Structure 1
Amino acid sequence: MSQAEHFKTLILGSGQGGKLLAWHLAQMGQRTAVVERQWVGGSCPNVACLPSKNEIWSARIAHLASHAAEFGTMNGSVKTDMAKVRKRKRTMVDREVSFHLDAYKRSGAELIMGTGRFVAPRTIEVQLNGGGTRLLASDQVVLNVGTHAAIPDIPDLAAARPLSHVEALELDYAPSHLVVLGGGYVGIELAQAYRRFGSRVTVVEPGPQILSREDADAADAVRRLLCDEGVGFLTSTQVLRVDGQSGKKVTVTARSAAGERQIEASDILVASGRIPNTTGIGLEKAGIELDDRGYIRVNERLETTAPDVWAIGECAGSPQFTHVSVDDFRIVRDNLAGGTRGTRHRLVPHCLFTDPPLAHVGLNEREAERQGITARVAKLPMSAVLRTEATGETQGFMKVLIAEDDDRILGFTMLGSEAGEVMTAVQMAMLARTPYPIVRDAVITHLTFAEGLGALLSNVAPRTKLDAL
């Protein structure tokens, strides 16, 4: 083995948490390198969060334009130019890549483009994208290798060359009929977007409801919203096989309690979960263990089973959100400096970027019941929020769970315009352990969507007399 170049810290993968850590450590004077196989800055700015929300926004503009007459604007027929939608997205990605390259340059961290694998503890061999190899050793290693889309083991599905979210965001046409396999967050967001671009869309979900992690009322409301826009749903439906090729003609054979049926389509999108990028990178040579799902085994400090090796983000089994990867970065950063931060008890929000969006933080009703937690539940239809009288955005509802014994807010769900922003205000109250009456009685600006919090919390039932004594 040739002589290795030595670094203080090596980071395998340039996702959100990894790149932030690299820039921080390099600015602190440590010799730091990041090895990235393909996407400068990771998947979020290139093929995931930002590009998907970019195209979802284009779909929203198309939807608003097609309904402009309802607001008094007469603009004739509406047609989407998908090549321009893609160009707008690519222009944004180019800006993001330039930003990241500049951030590496300013921080002093070295970005190495190539495929890395462990050949010994804390030693990585990199097959450079431009040819040749480099051998890198370090005092400490951070793994930030992410996940990729799972392709279900369905006969002939792989041969049909289905789209993942990556390829779906590169289409320069709207499929005549798009079949989406999976009713999770990615599948539902893209189903609505492509319906608004003009595609016929059918979502096939093996479970009894879409958005399986959400309460039934939230999932049902999202389904009704998309049904009203023309998206078709087949739940409790198993795909038996796929014939043809996505982009040309595909036939999906599926089975439900009603029997077997065939769905003729032009394109097929797989949105059936994620698989960690942990195979083929030599983890066994570095003493790094995986759990039974293939994720890197870590403790609450994000330390792996190998000394001085850490893992960040999705590959470590963290919730699959960019904002969680950012918090993972903070945990590792502080612990490398001698801190004692961990992942336990952190309050992780999430948002489904449909239009209107679905946002949630804390416990939902199903989780509270599973944990044996008694909670008071209050709901408010968005039509009762005065802001919607002006905007016409009356779909959805707010829901809150309140502790029975001390008036803490345990959880909040909102399906409605600006749901993510309103949810964040509730999250701050939860972090401060603020009793709900204080939020209920706050003077909130009129006319805002957040103003609905006062009416929602006014619907909370009082404590029982025994608790109140």
Structure 2
Amino acid sequence: MSQFDVTVIGSGPGGYVAAIRCAQLGFKTAIIEKYSVLGGTCLNVGCIPSKALLDSSEHFHNAAHNFADHGIIINEPKADLARMIARKSEVVDQTTKGIQFLMDKNKITVFEGVGSFESATQIKVTKNDGSTETIDSKYTIIATGSKPTALPFITLDKERIITSTEALELKEIPKHLIVIGGGVIGLELGSVYKRLGSEVTVVEFMDKIIPTMDGALSKELNKVLRKQGMKFNLSTGVQSVERNGDTVKVTAKDKKGEEVVFEGDYVLVAVGRSPYTKGLGLEKAGVDLDERGRVKTNEHLQTNVSNIYAIGDVVAGAMLAHKASEEGTMVAELIAGQKPHINYNLIPGVVYTWPEVAAVGKTEEQLKAEGVAIKIGNFPMRALGRSRASGDVDGFIKVIADEKTDEILGVHMIGARAADLIAEAVVAMEYRASAEDISRMSHAHPTYAEAMKEAALDATGKRALHF
């Protein structure tokens, strides 16, 4: 029987990072992945492929609508969805091969198959050919991730009634895509097909899109996406989804309780994700789950069985790839006797629509509910020379600071390259910077980042210089 110091079950951004860090720290490490390629949901059917399609569709949209403004005159462009999907697959292939290279480089043993506990220290690997192998591991890290959540009354045929996985592999551009769910996944994939010419209708149960983010971001993104042609039906609860040939009918009730019907050729169900623990054999190891089916852990991500840890989407918290990676690193270092920590308040969130949306820290709504006295600074992207030069004038940056201490408590932004700009806010808040600190730092001109300086200056009460 093969013996390892640490075995990681799952090779997504949490699992493979945990395995690499364990190996770097001198542990004999194994990783178990049920699919033939490494990388988990993020690299194969999530973050990476969706961003590839978002970039391709954005190029097409610009060619069709914006090139002329820049003096670039071309014939009417045509979208080759098959080539876009093929390019997406090439990007995924390159990325997953990179993970395999890192496994080899760090001398990590890779098992292809389903890993399930036989006991707290023994794991059986059931391979695709049906053969099995049992390994012994002093420590185990569960990193099995999540799967798309399905509403119980919806039958996913994965042809016309689809999840995000199938949306990345469509053979045609939908004529009318109905998106159930106004969160990150639904809006990103809705944006892809809207840019390519689909009619896109979003049906959201809550009274706003991206409901977990700051209300100002939700309002602005709604406005911008409506301007792009996306349709929204908020406070609308789906009752049923039926397919008849190539037509799919969604029946729902609006906020007045009246029935509304939407018809399209595809329905994307994007109502969130659920932790994936199927086949793990947690009961044999004695590992507890919580009321939502997540692996229960303490503040060190340790389960009730002391040598078993869990990270990423399978535990409580935001389902974000970078959060999982941080947790994987932390657990590896904890096993090594180090004392790492994660400040979950400073894990940024991003929506990769265009303009992008990004945030870190607490929202205005959260801080007011907590009774914290705050001051707010805002700066519109359209006031920047860089934004006017590129034509990306939608959005703003909002800085929230403590009224007494001036410490930055939250930063919320929507605009070009917000996904990259948010890193400045994360660094600032990690070092507990004040709004005045940021306002006094020199920012290169002309850049989008100048909006961060101006919003911080506005938060100090001195007012922004360029608005």
Aligned to 2:63: 65
CA separation of 1:122 and 1:35: change in aligned 2, threshold 3 A: same
8 Å CA contact 1:301–1:340 kept in 2: the answer is no
Q: Give the CA deviation at 1:299.
A: 0.8
Aligned to 1:203: 202
> Unaligned regions of 5+ residues in structure 2, if any?
463-467
Using the TM superposition, name which of 46-55 and 5-14 deviates more.
Answer: 5-14
SS at match of 1:303: coil
Query: What amino acid maps onto 1:398 in structure 2?
Result: I
1:65-464 → structure 2 map (5 Å cutoff)? 65-67=63-65, 68-156=67-155, 162-244=161-243, 248-258=246-256, 259-343=258-342, 346-460=345-459, 462=461
- Out of 15, 18, 26, which is 2:15 matched to? 18
- Out of 22, 26, 29, which is 1:32 matched to? 29
SS at match of 1:398: strand
CA separation of 1:326 and 1:452: change in aligned 2, threshold 3 A: same
Deviations 1:164-185 (A, max 9, x none): 1111111132111111110000
CA-based RMSD of the aligned residues comes to 1.8
SS at match of 1:10: strand
CA separation of 1:215 and 1:346: change in aligned 2, threshold 3 A: closer
CA separation of 1:155 and 1:413: change in aligned 2, threshold 3 A: closer
CA distance in 2, matches of 1:257, 1:318: 30
Aligned to 2:5: 8
Aligned to 2:465: none
Deviations 1:293-334 (A, max 9, x none): 111111111111112111111112232111111210221121
Q: Report sequence identity in percent.
A: 33
CA distance in 2, matches of 1:454, 1:107: 42
CA distance in 2, matches of 1:456, 1:333: 38
Q: TM-score, normalised by structure 2?
A: 0.94
8 Å CA contact 1:254–1:260 kept in 2: the answer is yes
Q: Give the CA deviation at 1:229.
A: 1.2
CA distance in 1, matches of 2:54, 2:344: 32
Using the TM superposition, name which of 276-285 and 133-142 deviates more.
Answer: 276-285
Aligned to 2:43: 45
Query: What amino acid maps onto 2:282 in structure 1?
Result: L
Q: How many residues align?
A: 459
Deviations 1:227-262 (A, max 9, x none): 1111111111111111116x8221111111352122
CA distance in 1, matches of 2:21, 2:413: 36
SS at match of 2:283: helix
8 Å CA contact 2:21–2:329 kept in 1: the answer is no
CA separation of 1:239 and 1:157: change in aligned 2, threshold 3 A: farther
> Unaligned regions of 5+ residues in structure 1, if any?
464-469
CA distance in 2, matches of 1:221, 1:389: 18
Query: What amino acid maps onto 1:7 in structure 2?
Result: F
Q: Give the CA deviation at 1:279.
A: 3.2
CA distance in 1, matches of 2:89, 2:221: 29
Q: Give the CA deviation at 1:217.
A: 2.0
Using the TM superposition, name which of 331-340 and 192-201 deviates more.
Answer: 331-340
Q: Give the CA deviation at 1:186.
A: 0.5
Query: What amino acid maps onto 1:256 in structure 2?
Result: D
SS at match of 1:120: coil
CA separation of 1:451 and 1:29: change in aligned 2, threshold 3 A: closer
CA distance in 1, matches of 2:234, 2:381: 27
